[in-house]
Structure 1
């Protein structure tokens, strides 16, 4: 019999709702409750599920009642909640980005290791690449081109478009390259609407060279006219062009990728795949979650390097 895990969600917003639904579907869990800084939000989110609401200064009580937690707060609060959870002996699944500073990300990874706890991060699109078979390709890419555009929104404005959107593609590129990034060059644009307030750039293009010679270009926008999520991966033997929104691809390589990947269970529900693998890792059924904290830290470092380069260009 699988161990029943006491689980909770920190953050009563949209993403907290997504994770709440996954925990309600999960087997062998006792979904204890939802925490939010504003208890009224926690109460509104918890009531439909018949679980307890925790708010404000009740974080310690919330953590004492659970074994595992999803952190779906605004990004700036990920590290503060995660570090308290880890100190309390609670396994952590943090939505992306892992943190908003390298120091906080490193502290999370170090504390999880010191406590012998699982730290996972929500880079769920890895499940799509796994379903396609891209991680089984025996060649390393020579070139990668990624575009991730979104229309104007009031969500996630506490971070730049790099930490909000581009970081997905940075993580995927790092998994394909198998090494960390070296040099980079960036350009950026900002929304200028009256009353609009956001942290960082709203549209960024970055050229990155990885330590093994792979080159990549990344474009991300949260002020585009239409959504677009595409990736072109060039191998020595051909290329793969992926439409992530419409779940299809073109393949000129000799490698037998799964053209029906969109029908695979792990790709139909990548968030569920990520959450359930996290739970399995906590139970000891798996060695690692879909994206472990140390892997998410690499994507965070690259994202912050891009943000820093953008900021430097703005100042010069």
Structure 2
């Protein structure tokens, strides 16, 4: 038996949020914001801040003056080439700079009392991530990590569907884009699925097996990792940035159910063991497919960041979440680097 339904874009919170600081909320205030790094992705961040009524986009910062001025004109704000001009002048920032600069820029902002929305991967080392988490906690600031797939409508709909995942398989395939080639495919693409999987399984990783190869860059461009969790769940994760046909899919198997998530087309399919048998010993399989309307995940991500600041609650994707995904991605990367070529 199969059912299909069309669903509107969901505005549910990606998993759970809690009050973190005990300070009074500032729901009535407009937050002064800025974007540091306005290349391909940072430009979208600037557009969202400019459009959200709860934010005032004070400035955009980029060492490329021409790019900064183009985005500033488009968003009706001012451009600076040195982000340090903004320290002390804004309440919150998106940091969308190359990965190697994440730690230094985010640390400067947090040290000056600025809430930070930090793109993934969070940093290049776990020690750097720990420093940012500690600094945000010490200053009572929101530190949100940009794991955008958490805001995918099909992922949000998993709440209430999943029970205890036993086996997970994911494929994230993309055409080559030099924009992400400063890191390997694990930190560029696979980390999205690592974050989702670890959030769903909620168990420490016991063992990792991994293999991968470089194809177009000096870094690993296609990789597969097998994650063995302490609770018995196993996840088989594949990521490639040298594919002709893009694909972003995950399948989750649990007792009596199989769940399929198509991140790209925003489709959630749930197949369950029915109560009756179609033949002796052969159960009926019931299927329900939910198609979600397209939503603006970057807008939702930034709106959630601002909401966490205004209501003094933990963000949907915390620094600890970003650290956990980074730690696993680094473990996989180290295995790949140590493998015989």
What is residue 277 of structure 2 aligned with on the other side? none
**1:239 equivalenced with 2:258 (yes/no):** yes
Contact kept, 8 Å, 2:47 with 2:75, in 1: the verdict is no
Instruction: Tell me how far 1:234 sits from its aligned partner.
Output: 0.2
**1:296 equivalenced with 2:322 (yes/no):** yes
Contact kept, 8 Å, 1:144 with 1:232, in 2: the verdict is yes
**Structure 1 residue corresponding to 2:225, chosen from 203, 206, 218:** 206
Give unmatched runs, 5+ long, in structure 2. Answer: 1-26, 275-285
Give the number of the structure with larger relative contact order, counting CA–CA contacts within 8 Å between residues 6 or more apart.
2
What is residue 186 of structure 2 aligned with on the other side? 162
SS for the counterpart of 1:268 is coil
SS for the counterpart of 1:64 is coil
Q: Please list the CA deviations of residues 187-206 of structure 1 after superposition, one character each: whole Å capped at 9, or x if unmatched.
A: 101115xxxx44x2000000
What is residue 39 of structure 1 aligned with on the other side? 65
Instruction: Tell me how far 1:132 sits from its aligned partner.
Output: 4.8
Contact kept, 8 Å, 1:133 with 1:257, in 2: the verdict is no
SS for the counterpart of 1:136 is coil
Aligned CA-pair RMSD:
2.1
Residue 92 to residue 279, structure 1, CA distance change in 2 (3 Å): same
What is residue 110 of structure 2 aligned with on the other side? 86
Q: Which has the higher helix share?
A: 1
Instruction: Tell me how far 1:155 sits from its aligned partner.
Output: 1.0
- Give the Cα separation in 2 of the matches to 1:73 and 1:161: 18
**1:220 equivalenced with 2:236 (yes/no):** no
Q: Please list the CA deviations of residues 16-52 of structure 1 after superposition, one character each: whole Å capped at 9, or x if unmatched.
A: 0110111112122111011112333212221222211
**1:262 equivalenced with 2:292 (yes/no):** yes
Q: Please list the CA deviations of residues 69-97 of structure 1 after superposition, one character each: whole Å capped at 9, or x if unmatched.
A: 00111111111110000001000001111
Q: TM-score, normalised to structure 1's length? A: 0.90
Residue 300 to residue 209, structure 1, CA distance change in 2 (3 Å): same
Instruction: Tell me how far 1:103 sits from its aligned partner.
Output: 1.2
- Give the Cα separation in 2 of the matches to 1:94 and 1:228: 25
**1:186 equivalenced with 2:205 (yes/no):** no
- Give the Cα separation in 1 of the matches to 2:288 and 2:318: 25
- Give the Cα separation in 2 of the matches to 1:60 and 1:223: 37
- Give the Cα separation in 2 of the matches to 1:250 and 1:260: 6
SS for the counterpart of 1:140 is coil
What is residue 276 of structure 1 aligned with on the other side? 303
